[in-house]
Amino acid sequence: MVVGDSMIDKYVWGDVKRISPEAPVPVIEVQSQTARLGGATNVVQNLRGVGTETFLASLCGKDADGKYLRGALKKIGCRTEGLIASAARPTTSKTRIMARQQQVVRVDSEVTADINGWEAAALWKCVAEFLSTVKGVVISDYAKGVVSQPFIGRLLKACKEQGLFVAIDPKERHFDLYEGVSVMTPNLKEAHVALGVPYAHCSDSDVKALGWKLVNKYGLRYLLITLSERGMALFEREEKVFTHLPTVAQKVFDVTGAGDTVISVYSAAITCKASPLEAAFLANHAAGLAVAQVGTASVDGESLLKACKVGLSA
């Protein structure tokens, strides 16, 4: 089950050949427009890509973008009764204006207030109906309202009672809600924020010390810190094992959505009985594939296996 903030990532592709006479800004000559699943729905897309059956519990607006989300999810084989249409907010969208593969500006349409009582009740009805049928829960937090108390507290309590694996892709303002989840997948900046320390470049030994503090503070079973071009760091509390996995990315065009890919592949692998290191190995290679694409990206099982075979033979 994926619970969290769904959105659409829109792209306006074009070229810049002149500056506007109205203001000192570039004029984009539009060549094409595309839309992709983003946020929690990109997590679903990645999970479906590696063959995992997925149920989504999230919100959209009663608008054209909400209809697009529902249709796009059906196309990839995801059930949509858990995508609740709310009149209180629009479907979250991020529109990126691109000129020759470079982002010029981004326009966001969103409401970031915590979900209201009706929205929480509707989401919980869906969660309660399907929670007993799943092996794990991924919480995709983009700070758009779904991850808030008391809804998330109720969800985590139910997951604990059922012994479910719970993974969370964190957002800086909500760390106090995450205690006791199975795995957290912050980037290095988010890891600093979680501990209330200034963000700075870290040596490998600094990352190791930072990670163990996070594991102990939040009672995590596992911690996976993404380190951008340096790969990722895996912490296993019970075995007291730290592993640094160097990046396998050959090209880096865009990191948008890479965190969605990491948490999806790691969670799918763990719930299929992979070891934590095997799961991190798969997630690391999946991230390498995702960042090699422009825009929000997902991976499929065939491409991932091929990349892993190359990595093992290198």
Distance CA 63, CA 265 (A): 31
**Phi and psi of 32, rounded to 5°?**
-165, 165
Residue 203 has which token pair? Answer: 């040596």
Q: Is the dihedral of CA 138, 142, 145, 147 positive or negative?
A: positive
The secondary structure of 47-78 as a DSSP string is HHHTT---BEEEEEESSHHHHHHHHHHHHTT-
Residue 204 has which token pair? Answer: 């490998």
Map tokens 């909500």 to a residue: 174
Map tokens 């929480």 to a residue: 120
Which of 63, 169, 260, 300 is catalytic? The answer is: 260
**254 among known catalytic residues:** no
Residue of 199, 197, 193, 284 lying closest to 243 (CA atoms): 284
Strand 165-169 versus strand 136-140 pairing type: parallel
Residue 302 DSSP code: H
C-alpha triplet 183, 187, 193: angle, nearest 5°? 95
Whether residue 137 contacts residue 169, with contact meaning beta carbons closer than 8 Å, is answered with: no
Strand spans (E) along the chain: 2-4, 6-19, 26-39, 56-61, 83-86, 93-99, 102-109, 136-140, 165-169, 183-184, 222-226, 232-236, 241-245
Residues assigned a catalytic role: 260
